Structure 1
């Protein structure tokens, strides 16, 4: 199944995949509503989903989540989005691989890997996932409040902004940051 709003990509990907003898494109959809309307579990082994089907919206994430809830376990995101939070959310929602359109030459191999449950994370996002694993290991030692302070600091907030957001004094936030630094190091 291919879900892609841009005609150029939809036509070219469909054409390329039709040239591959062991891959059959059974469903092509250009929108979220069309994807939900056409989806039939017995016709789809692997879904290739673009994240932005409507301008400035990540409705492809909703498709990934819905297909996962419908027990489709092999969903590959194909997009131009490289934002850390979006990549992580796509994996949280159930995607098994994430490829940027600049690496579209890797689509066939990724589909085959997904079909045979031999998924390797594409190099487009491997650094994001590795860094997230490292981050999770670091913050494991933090209390919930320390983790919240840490997350806000990682988002770029300064001590005053964190204090205001958490309804704490700046001195309390300074103290937490000092503790966080000692625990993580």
Structure 2
């Protein structure tokens, strides 16, 4: 059986201990490095890392330092990065995937970490329940919107976010009548 070598990047000592202890108790996994800061993480020897568990917020100075670090590590060849966070905002979740994360787990679901580490190691794409609904909804919206012009797409996305025609018109600096006409065309195209 392969031993999965894990790097944990977490600035909170309590969470570092919880995550590290959990990983160490798992058969076939070992924590080979712990980094409490972005700087420490960048000094790690990446040749002996299989999976990275990355905290999204690494310091008070940089709210989403884990996003930036994730992108840097991805560019250095670490392709199996799992974001760990208490954030559950859709835009941040999607940006995490844009910067190289392969999974996203909220800290309230920390018990799912060992399974996610194994799946990442074996290249099994499986999203944690924390993000699966969001990703399916984004996929549905993207597939529907692909037939739209860029202007129609803007309107469609805002409508999907719950804005009404007046709010969309105000946000896009268009008349309500223009939005109504565009919405009519959009409905025809996506149905």
TM-score, normalising length: structure 2: 0.86
Query: Which residue number in structure 2 is paired with residue 44 of structure 1?
Result: 49
TM alignment of 1:1-185, pairs within 5 A: 1-36=7-42, 38-55=43-60, 57-185=63-191
Aligned-partner Cα distance in 2 for 1:128–1:140: 18
Paired residues of 1:110 and 1:119 also in contact (CA < 8 A): no
**Which shows bigger deviation, 166-175 or 71-80?**
166-175
Q: What is the SS of the residue equivalent to 2:29?
A: coil
Residue segments in structure 1 that go unaligned for 5+ positions in a row: none
Moved over 6 A (4+): none
Q: What is the SS of the residue equivalent to 1:77?
A: strand
Per-residue deviation, 1:181: 2.4
Residue segments in structure 2 that go unaligned for 5+ positions in a row: 1-6
Aligned-partner Cα distance in 1 for 2:190–2:35: 46
Count of aligned pairs between the two proteins: 184
In 2 relative to 1, CA 106–165 (structure 1 residues): closer, same or farther, beyond 3 Å? closer
Paired residues of 1:87 and 1:98 also in contact (CA < 8 A): yes
TM-score, normalising length: structure 1: 0.89
* Alignment RMSD (CA, Å): 1.9
Aligned-partner Cα distance in 2 for 1:174–1:54: 45
